[in-house]
A and B are shown apart, each in its own frame.
Chain A
Amino acid sequence: AQSVAQPEDQVNVAEGNPLTVKCTYSVSGNPYLFWYVQYPNRGLQFLLKYITGDNLVKGSYGFEAEFNKSQTSFHLKKPSALVSDSALYFCAVRDTGYSTLTFGKGTMLLVSP
């Protein structure tokens, strides 16, 4: 079975500070990992994905994520947060042998001015 956990319901950070949104996963094969963001009253938007290759993945809006196989993690990071980054962030995983994604429950990121 495949599963993903986002251990924090909410993350608070001040504008200009670095941010991290955590994600851990469980798969039996090789993971394919995704981050999506949801702004209020909008659908989800794709940020980045890890399929294979370099463990550091760069995505949209200055976000990046690091794949760590030993810790089964795929944390989302940004060096300097913006107020406009405030949104709901979802991590998702697909295990080899599966054909659908499993999403985490989401982490609300609040960036204060």
Chain B
Amino acid sequence: KAGVTQTPRYLIKTRGQQVTLSCSPISGHRSVSWYQQTPGQGLQFLFEYFSETQRNKGNFPGRFSGRQFSNSRSEMNVSTLELGDSALYLCASSLQQLADNEQFFGPGTRLTVL
């Protein structure tokens, strides 16, 4: 079974721009979660989508948004980029909603904001 894939793997943007990241979950997985990983803050939860609906949201500003399509693929969008948005963005999928289920992580998208 193919793992979680994320595209692109690397991105360089400038302040004020917007960016869209993509995540394809493992086939059959209906839950997709997004995390931001930085050296100082560790891994922080952004949001979770299940059956095309946002089920949970972390403590991030409204510039961060996402959506999930009927095939469970998910996109994350960040508008008006700031320098502090530079991070590794990880997507994870699981069979059911987050809860106690094992999550399978993709390799991440490394975003650099200049």
Contacts and interface: CB of A to CB of B under 8 A. Distances in A.
Interface of A: 32, 36, 41-46, 49, 51, 90, 94, 99-106
Given A43-B4, A45-B105, A100 B42 contact: no
A44 B90 contact: yes
B43 A99 contact: no
A99 B92 CA distance: 15
Interface of B: 4, 33, 35, 41-45, 48, 55-56, 58, 90, 92, 97-100, 102-108
Contact of B97 (A41, A49, A90, A99): A99
A100 B48 contact: yes
A100 B56 contact: yes
Most B Cβ at <10 Å: residue of A45, A101, A104: A101
Contacts of A32: 100
B8 to A, nearest CB: 14
